[in-house]
Amino acid sequence: MTAVTDAVKTGAGTLAPRPRGGFAQGISDSLIVAKRNLIRMSRIPEMIIFGLIQPIMFVVLFSYVFGGSMNVGGSTDADVYREFLMAGIFAQTVTFATAGAGAGIADDMHKGLIDRFRSLPMARGAVLTGRTLADLVQTALTIVVLAVVALLVGWRVHEGVLKALGAFALLLLLGYAFSWIGALIGLSVRTPEAATSGGLIWLFPVTFVSNAFVDSGQMTPWLRHVAEWNPFSATVQASRELFGNPGVSPSDAWPMQHPVIASVIWSVLIIAVFRTLAVRKYRSATA
């Protein structure tokens, strides 16, 4: 008995509980939760299929229905608008995945799965980090398919493969940042339906009051100012520059002058703020 007691006190032996903290454990637990969510997603293929339908519809509709009537840099050429459009569609796709992330977390809360995770000796933030990482993988797969569709309708990359990969990395970073907003919403509501609605309400003004679909230089001055300082706009503009696609009218706004740096700063700031709030909400919601 003395040996067992000493083993527990010193952390030796199999009876010692696994520590809840630690950076290495947090990463390990997060990857395990991410794997669990990826396996779950693979067993529900309609989640991926339906996630692809909307962005593909946006590509086709905006390209062929609105393409000839949009003015980009003084040109109404549909081919020019098609290349201008794609960075915005990519960004919209990665951010709209936020609603799904929030709904998934709300569903886990509703079914009591979060309480079961809480009973395990695991890092507190691992449940949310694993979920957001799994959603990031799904979003990346969606972007790959969407890029193929974009190439079929005439979109092209003009600055080389490395810069294109950099643009996709910025897009995924923005999507990951916004997924933490979705996580916070999912923890704050009672049903998955409410999480989906709450996740979309704020996304529409963020994505449409931006330079994603129209040249912000054509907006009224106050609306243009909002659009140019929108984190979403910074990532869209950075992607256009890295893809070598047509951009918006020249602007004196700092995010539009330095879109790559602005995109990284905005995304990291959003992750830092909303991850902190989401983990805090998770702890209080399951306490």
Return the percentage of the chain with pLDDT > 90, whole number.
32
Query: Looking at residue 22, what is its pLDDT?
Result: 65
Q: Is residue 13 part of a domain?
A: no
Q: Is residue 98 part of a domain?
A: yes
Residues 140, 237: Cα–Cα separation, whole Å: 20
Q: Is residue 10 part of a domain?
A: no
Encode 192-219: b = buried (16+ Cβ within 10 Å), e = exposed: bebbbebbeeebeebbebbbbbbbbbeb
Residue whose entry in the numeric block shows the structure tokens 């507190």? 124
Collapsed DSSP state (helix, strand, coil) of residue 73: coil
The domain of 155 spans 20-285
Query: Looking at residue 46, what is its pLDDT?
Result: 72
Q: Is residue 5 part of a domain?
A: no
Q: Is residue 194 part of a domain?
A: yes
Tens digit of pLDDT for each residue in 15-52?
334 445 567 777 888 888 888 877 877 777 777 777 77
Q: Is residue 90 part of a domain?
A: yes
Q: Is residue 26 part of a domain?
A: yes
Q: At what angle do helices 45-61 and 23-42 cross, to 10 degrees?
A: 80
pTM of the predicted structure, to 2 decimals: 0.83
Task: Assess whether pLDDT exceeds 90 at residue 201.
Answer: no
Lowest mean pLDDT among 17-26, 156-165, 192-201, 249-258: 17-26
- Number of structural domains in the chain: 1
Q: Is residue 81 part of a domain?
A: yes
